[in-house]
Structure 1
Amino acid sequence: MTVTLEFQKLFDGYVECYRSKDPAGCATYFTDNAELFSPYGPAAKGRKAIEAAHAAWIEEDAKSKAIEVVQADINGHIGWCLARFSEGEADHGTSLNVLYKQPDGRWLITHCSLNETP
């Protein structure tokens, strides 16, 4: 499996939680000390803050959320990916993500920067 497909699988699980309006589930794709930067609200630092941010976001049209990983790579236990996201008619953009491979082999997001496309 390519790195792009491996990370796409991770984001597919995240999107499933998002569409199910499960903020705690969304937060499980981030490390305990992850940081999320977004034009949609203040920076969220830590899994609890990321869960709280998602609780506010999923109140909108969560069923239309989509993420496509367009480029990715790894170097040892650190990975990164550039992804496109969309939600409804108005929200489109890219996200740059840093991921860290956990001892059990799973990848989790350590840093995420959402960038709105005008």
Structure 2
Amino acid sequence: MTLRDKIQGWLDRMARSYAAGDSGACADMFTEDATLHSPFAPPARGRIEIETLHRDWTGTATAKRFYIRSFGGSGDIAWVLARFSEGDTGTGTTLAVLDRSADTGWLCKACSLNEEQT
């Protein structure tokens, strides 16, 4: 499996968890000390804050999709720039830094969501 396939798999899992309204599953895709920045809410630091944020977002969740624009990685660190689309939120871009461990696989260490301007 290529790095692109692994990253797309991570994005697809996030989209499924989000659409299912499962804020816990969304948060579990982040490291314990992750940060998430978004124009839709104040910054979230740590898995507990990230779960709380996703609880608000997934309360009225609709289908979400991610499309990889660019990605790269070396060893146990990878990054992805992806376009997202989601019902109420619309479209935007996310930049995520992923960290891989033997125990947990790929988890997000840092993420920035940006709203697409129309």
**TM-score over 0.5 (shorter chain):** yes
Paired position in structure 1 for 2:20: 20
1:54 aligned partner, one-letter code: H
Q: C-alpha separation between the residues in 1 aligned to 2:49 and 2:8? A: 24
Equivalent residue pairs, number: 117
TM-score (normalizing by structure 1): 0.92
Runs of 4+ off more than 6 Å? none
1:20 aligned partner, one-letter code: A
Matched, 1:41 2:49: no
Deviations 1:47-81 (A, max 9, x none): 00000000001122x22211122221111111100
> Judging changes above 3 Å, is the alpha-carbon distance between structure 1 residues 45 and 76 closer, same or farther for their aligned structure 2 residues?
same
Task: Specify every segment of 5 or more residues in structure 1 that has no aligned partner in the other structure, as ranges.
Answer: none
Paired position in structure 2 for 1:73: 72
Q: C-alpha separation between the residues in 2 aligned to 1:96 and 1:14? A: 14
Identity %: 40
RMSD: 1.3
TM-score (normalizing by structure 2): 0.92
Q: C-alpha separation between the residues in 1 aligned to 2:2 and 2:71? A: 9
> Judging changes above 3 Å, is the alpha-carbon distance between structure 1 residues 30 and 72 closer, same or farther for their aligned structure 2 residues?
same
Q: C-alpha separation between the residues in 2 aligned to 1:95 and 1:18? A: 15
Partner of 1:80: helix, strand, or coil?
strand
Partner of 2:50: helix, strand, or coil?
helix
